Chains A and B, each alone.
Chain A
Amino acid sequence: MEYFLIIISAIFVNNIVLAQFLGICPFLGVSNKLSTATGMSMAVCFVITLATLVTYLINQYLLVPFQLEFLQTIAFILVIAALVQMVEIVLKKVSPALYQALGIFLPLITTNCAVLGVAMTVVTKEFTFGGTSHLLNLGEALVYAFATSLGYGLAMVIFAGIREHLSLNDVPKAFKGVPIALISVGILALAFMGFSGMVK
């Protein structure tokens, strides 16, 4: 039940893009076409889950025991940067097909604040379930990370669909491109606000 709550809340109620404002740059950057949006979402999904696993363990077994929590920011971003590079290298060797699909998005992911954001959130924020609140354990953290990235993918794919239609419309010059896109995201966010209070 707890896992179910985490999943619903991470995908819909606290959608990472539409409610938490994380990962907006790539969200606006690669949502022009549905195919690239799908590719990016999959790459993000993969990296977020993996990065959360690694940073969670590093925090738990290295930083906390030595009281080095203040190095969280720097340690996490280094780990994420190294991880992304490694994923790129491994993917190239092991699965060229997957690399073809995700490869070009990987370098962009290091500076995707969604990855660092989720990694920091799971080790610092207390989550509330049925009247009590506590920090997530490893399993919950992974579920949260995965569900969050699914939420990212969902927002991305919906938005790419909207944008493909937008590009066919006659929009006033000053609105062209990002402004009209932002206004559409706003309306999408308004729709997602309908989910707030659903998990309680």
Chain B
Amino acid sequence: MKLTTTQLTLCALLTAMALALSYLENLFPLALAIPIPGVKLGLANVVTLFALFALGPGEALLILLARCFLGSLFAGNVNALLFSLLGGLCAMGTMILLARRRGLSVYGVSVGGAAAHNCGQIAAAVLTLGSRAPLYYLPVLLAVSLLTGGLTGLAAACLFRGLRHTGLMNG
């Protein structure tokens, strides 16, 4: 993949924003209300959604990988890398497939991505712990993903509306 300077700069900016949003969502402790490992808003998914529609799947994947590696590096937690990578890649694959369906809006793509992210994280937990016990949480996580996916979809829709005049959305 060959990136222009503008594309590279945009990817770097979006990666920084995704990392900042990942940190910011710690201020909204959703896990206090729903005490299950892995429950979070997934605000960084707004950036992934934007990159997918505005830049394309390749660039969105680059931003996701950079966010996962840098995020676990900054957190000083290499164990978290497997969780964020599996969750992120499952979400990305699902959103790439769903984004090709003409009938779907950003809401449908976002909800599908959030659900796939949770499936990926549970798969990482099953692999890490060597037990099927984490599957017990999947139904609740999937139900929560309807809410969090809808919220990130709303945030992305607002972002797209706000950026229409910039021409970013049309390449």
The answer to whether A and B belong to the same complex is no
Using a CB–CB cutoff of 8 Å, the interface residues on chain B facing chain A are none
